[in-house]
Structures are given as structure tokens and as C-alpha cells.
Amino acid sequence: MRTENIPVVVVGGGSAAFEAAVAAKQAGAPQVVMLEKAPEPEFGGNARFSHTGFRWVFSGPEEIRRFLPDMDDAMFDKLHIPPYTAEQFHGDLQRVTCGRISKELSDVLVSQSNAAIHWMREVGIKWDIDSHVIIDGRYYFEPGMVIHPTGGVGGGLDQLMQWRAIATKMGIELRYESRVAALLGNDRRIEGVRVSDPNEEYEIRANSLVLCAGGFQASAEKRARYLGANADLMKVRGSKHDTGEVLMIAIDLGAKTAGHWQGAHATPIDATFPDVEISNKANRYGYTYGITVNSLGQRFFDEGEARHSYTYAKTGWAVLGQPGAVAYQIYDQKATPLLNRRYYEFSHPIEADTIDELAKKISIEPAVLNHTIREFNSAVRKDIPFDATKLDGRCTEGITPKKSNWADTIDKPPYWAYAVTGGITFAFGGLQINTQAQVLNTSNNPIRGLFASGDIVGLFFHNYPSCTGQTRNVVFSRLAGRNAAAQGL
């Protein structure tokens, strides 16, 4: 078998991989090669489908201004940019993971998020403002998520195209259709990889290896194995190439695991979309402004617990747990103006002038749906004003489950229903790394030369604050790349 010698090898072709490769080259690695399983037209893993929002610690408008140099002052003055503090980021991570996220790793994530995002700007990534609502001419954002990378194309591919251009300019080689089929070495020292491409199998001897091969979410067999009953039937929001074999090979080598192995990021998505590579078009995150019922006509979770960015990643699971793994989001005409454009552009509502008619159209017993909505309407605290711009405290009283915010009566026809199911984004179970992005073995010692970043790392439990994945990628990839370079020299 042919053998090459390359000091630093990065496995994967998503954003974590590019960030690690660029950091390694910048830190002096003489040669860096990226191995991407997918063919060129499909490169980039989940990052290709990502909205690429970034949640990170920043101090306010002066700092954000440096990311938007081309925006004119009049426009910039319209942006409402309160700071997002380390305490807020820590609080969000702790709360949604039920206190289970590693203290050490979350400290690194939070404390290095600012420097890592500035590093992206310094190496040449271009930015624009992220999703917002405009009220009286002011632009309001989700806390901590004001900007994201866009160089013109938009979406996740935009970030990847920018990274690829930067990496190519630095002399980093990206090999497509290059599946990593084995790791060489043992649980004390990594020695390289075996690569399978369409023409041959060959070995690369490497001093350092950075694993950025994503999670196992696109493997139905592994979803069934780790995520429980019927998880093999989940729709997959991202890349079909993220089938988790590199993660499994590393575990077989003796790597330690971390994160929530029966947990995953799973969101409510349009039930009519295909099974894989669905992207953001199918996102149905407007549930905070209506009610969601199962096919029996009953509500089953608190739709207004918090902003969707703090609940969407677990709400997919709530839907998957219902009969047939399907549910219906129901809105009246007071709520429909609040729905994201994706509701209008990428699907059609099931519409009816009466609840009876709507129930028949979605095959729910009309008497039950009428009862659910009547009961909900009379439980709404109408004395509290409705305010979509904040947690308004307008809740229900006396029904279970409660709706904690944005509870509004459903009484202005025509009524709209959207069929939703749960779509998996990425699995939470992965490899255990330390604060230097080194992969640990089961004796808790670093495997010399082996680093990891991105979805292949186990970090989250139960739930996830939106837009933390991309930030985790850049924070740990920067560390992994720099340390891999030091080892690879």
C-alpha cells in the first residue's frame, strides 16, 4: 500500500475542519491536508446546510462595528446591539443542558468565543447582520447573535466558500472523495490514517491528526442504536455524509466518549419534506405564537416556555414522541403575521374558516380539537398585554400543559395548520476532549497527536442554545490546529 508522510492531517470538510486547517497552517505547520469524504459538489457536511449564526461574547455596538466596515453610519445606527456577556452565555449553557455541560470545556467555549470570532474576521471572513425583526425602524436581534458570515452567496455554503478560498490561498490541500477508513496508532499515540478514495486505498503517516468528521446523525442504524425507539425514522436536516464512522473508529482505538449519547439536537420541521439534507427551509419555529396539537387533538408541551432559540432543539423530540411522530401547529390570523417567511415561501398552510373544518382536514376528531381550543382560549390571561418582542408573561392559567408566554386566543379565522415532525440536526454523543482539544483515552490521558473539534466532540446534554455549534467549532478548532501544528513540526 502506498504511504505518504504529511505533518498535519485534518479529517472532514466542514467549518470545523477548515478552521483547524487554517489555524495549523498559520501556526507554522509546513503541510496541511484535509480529507473530505464527500465529492466536491457535496462538500462541507452539516456546515453546508447551516444558517451559520454565531453566539458569542461581545461588548456592544463599537465592537460589532469592526465586523461591518462597509455599512453606512445611518444604517448602523438603526441596529439595537446590547452586549452579550460571559455570564449570559454561561447561564444559557448551564440552563438548557440542565447543568450537565462540562465546566472546563464551557469555560473555554465562553472565554475564548470573542477572540475566536475576531480571529475569523482577521483571517478574512466577511460578515453581515443576522436574522432580526424591525420595529419602528430599529433592528432587534436574538441575544448574542447579531452577525454571521456572508460574502454574498448567503447561507452555510457562503461560510465554506470563504474558508475554502482562504485555505487554498494558504496552500492547504483539500482532497475530496477521500474517506478515512482507519486510524493508525493506538490509544497512546496516533500515527496516521488509512484513506479510501475512488481509485485506491493508501496510508498517510502523520504526526498530528485533527478529527472534524461530524456526528453520526445521518446513520439510521446508529440513531436506532443510540437514540432509542424509532430514531432511525427521523428526518435528517443536514448532510447525508455524516454517518459517524470516524467517531466509531476513534472509540475502537480507545478514545473516551462524552456528551449525551441518547440526546440530539432535534427541531420541529415541516413533515412533508424529504428524509435527508432538508436544510433550514423546513424549519417551523413559530410555535411560540400558536398552539401545537398531536393527531389526537391534544396539546403536549409549553409552546411559550422561552424564545424558540432556547427550546427549538428539544421541541423536535417532543413531536417525535407523539403518535405517528407528527403534530400540527395551529395559528389564527392574529399570529400569522409573526411567522417566519419560510412558512410562506416553502410550504402552504392547511386553511379553514372554522375549527371543525380545520380538524377534518387534518384528520383530528372535531369535538376534541374544538374542546382543546375552547379550553385554551378561556385559560389565556387576557389582562396581561401580548408583546412578541420580549418574554411577555402572557400565560395560560388552569390548563396543562401551561403556555408561559405569548398565549393568545385562537379566534380570528381563517385558521392555519402546518404538519410538523422532528428533524435531527446533530447527535450530542461524541469524543471527550480536554481544554487543549486533545482527545482523551479511557484512562483520561491525551492520545498524543490526536485532536478533535466540531460535532464529533461530545459536549451537550438535553438541549442546546441556538448558534453555539459554529462558535464551539471555531474555538476548539483554533486550539486543535495550533496544537496540532506544534506537534507536527
Instruction: Give contact residues for ligand FAD (rule: CB under 6 A).
Output: 11-17, 35-38, 44-47, 49-53, 179-180, 212-214, 237-239, 241-242, 245-246, 279-280, 425-426, 454-455, 467-470, 473
**Closer of 192 and 297 to ligand FAD (Cβ):** 192
Considering the complex, what minimum distance in angstroms separates the CB of residue 63 from ligand FAD?
20
Considering the complex, what minimum distance in angstroms separates the CB of residue 455 from ligand FAD?
4
Considering the complex, what minimum distance in angstroms separates the CB of residue 75 from ligand FAD?
23
Respond yes or no on whether the N-terminal peptide bond of residue 143 is cis (omega within 30° of 0).
no
**Closer of 237 and 394 to ligand FAD (Cβ):** 237
Considering the complex, what minimum distance in angstroms separates the CB of residue 245 from ligand FAD?
5
Nine cell digits for residue 34 = 484535509
Cβ distance 207 to 62 under 8 Å?
no
**Closer of 213 and 362 to ligand FAD (Cβ):** 213
**Closer of 176 and 386 to ligand FAD (Cβ):** 176
**Closer of 38 and 320 to ligand FAD (Cβ):** 38
**Closer of 422 and 454 to ligand FAD (Cβ):** 454
Considering the complex, what minimum distance in angstroms separates the CB of residue 100 from ligand FAD?
19
Considering the complex, what minimum distance in angstroms separates the CB of residue 153 from ligand FAD?
16
- Cα separation values, 14 from 158, 372, 445, 477, Å: 12, 45, 27, 11
Considering the complex, what minimum distance in angstroms separates the CB of residue 1 from ligand FAD?
17
**Closer of 56 and 418 to ligand FAD (Cβ):** 56
Cβ distance 328 to 418 under 8 Å?
yes
Q: Name the one residue in this structure whose C-alpha cell is 462540562.
A: 102
